[in-house]
Amino acid sequence: MAENRINRELDTREKNVRKKAWTRPETLPSPISQDGYDYRWIRVANQGQVDATNVSSKLREGWEPVKATDHPEITMVAVEQERFKDNIVIGGLMLCKAPSEMVEERTEYFQQQTDSQMRSVDNNLMRESDPRMPMFNERKSKVTFGKGT
């Protein structure tokens, strides 16, 4: 009986692996990340028109363009404008990076702005509230499942 068995080294899992399903390729490839940096695609053109205002505001925020030589894994580099010929520009978007600390500070700043605006709206709402008919301001959602009757 032992003579009819297949040797374990000859039986591999690779033969039993399922075929990979086709997936759509990414429109904007993801760069290999570096420690301490976050990446973002910045709009440099919209419908063929240069968007200098957006680019300059993002550069003032602290985003810096990524050189094409720094990320050779991104092979589909389309040079659309002479100004950004050394950078990675695809479909009117340029790959930029910024220090992670700056991105976190920016996120916290906008979260504080949002919280302040929500408090203002809540205070305005409660000022209009009448004790005889109070307004409720619930910011919770609840999912219930019924019997369908």
- Please report, in tens digits, the pLDDT of each residue of the chain (149 residues total): 556 776 766 666 565 667 788 888 777 888 888 899 999 999 998 888 888 899 999 999 999 998 888 888 786 545 555 677 788 888 888 899 999 999 999 999 999 999 999 989 888 877 777 777 666 666 666 777 777 65
Q: Is residue 69 part of a domain?
A: yes
Q: Is residue 81 part of a domain?
A: yes
Greatest Cα pair distance in the chain = 90
Q: Is residue 124 part of a domain?
A: no
Q: Is residue 26 part of a domain?
A: no
Q: Is residue 82 part of a domain?
A: yes
Strand partners, 94: 42, 89
Q: What is the pTM of this model?
A: 0.59
Query: Domain tally for the chain?
Result: 1
Q: Is residue 142 part of a domain?
A: no
Q: Which domain holds residue 75?
A: 35-99
* Residue (of 65, 61, 141) closest to 107 by Cα position: 61
Q: Is residue 45 part of a domain?
A: yes
Q: Is residue 71 part of a domain?
A: yes
